[in-house]
Amino acid sequence: MNTEMYQTPMEVAVYQLHNFSISFFSSLLGGDVVSVKLDNSASGASVVAIDNKIEQAMDLVKNHLMYAVREEVEVLKEQIRELVEKNSQLERENTLLKTLASPEQLEKFQSRLSPEEPAAESPQVPEAPGGSAV
């Protein structure tokens, strides 16, 4: 870094900040590092130019993030639509199965769902010789 041409610590600091901010935002955006030499005679204008470049870089980052968020929202909305559709289908299937099942089958199913509550008339399934229920 060539800082000999700057006379005040403020000019050196502005130069360093400029290089850092351009490098930082370029790395975020995947672009090449842009180097701009500051002129002693126009240090005020240089600061304004640097501020403008920083603002432009921040706008680019903001736009990029907003685009990425919008894309993610669309993906999530599509997943929600698919899940709602699948849930509706499963609810219809469940309703159909309940209407087709006999009262005994429903009672047996209910007893399996809540084993802590003993079913009044549920028959015990005999154990097979291997130790598992048939």
Model confidence at 34, in pLDDT bands (50, 70, 90)? Answer: very low
- Token duo for residue 15: 């130069």
Q: Dump pLDDT digits (tens) for 93-131.
A: 999 999 999 999 989 988 888 766 554 444 444 444 454
- Token duo for residue 48: 């304004």
The residues near 94 (Cβ < 8 Å, ≥ 6 apart) are: none
Q: Where are the domains of the chain?
A: 9-103
The DSSP letter of residue 3 is: -
Q: Of residues 90 and 114, which shows the higher confidence score?
A: 90
User: CA-to-CA distance for 100 and 70, rounded, in angstroms?
Assistant: 45
**Closest CA relative to residue 25, chosen from 127, 82, 17:** 17
Kindly tell me if the per-residue pLDDT of 27 is higher than 50. Answer: yes
Kindly tell me if the per-residue pLDDT of 89 is higher than 80. Answer: yes
Q: Dump pLDDT digits (tens) for 61-77.
A: 999 999 999 999 999 99
**Closest CA relative to residue 15, chosen from 39, 96, 97:** 39
Q: Give the pLDDT score at 26.
A: 66
- Token duo for residue 114: 């809540």
Compute the mean pLDDT over every residue in the chain, rounded to the nearest whole number.
75
User: CA-to-CA distance for 113 and 116, rounded, in angstroms?
Assistant: 9
Q: Give the pLDDT score at 46.
A: 82
The DSSP letter of residue 133 is: B
Is residue 127 classed as helix, strand or coil in its secondary structure?
Answer: strand
Is residue 123 classed as helix, strand or coil in its secondary structure?
Answer: coil
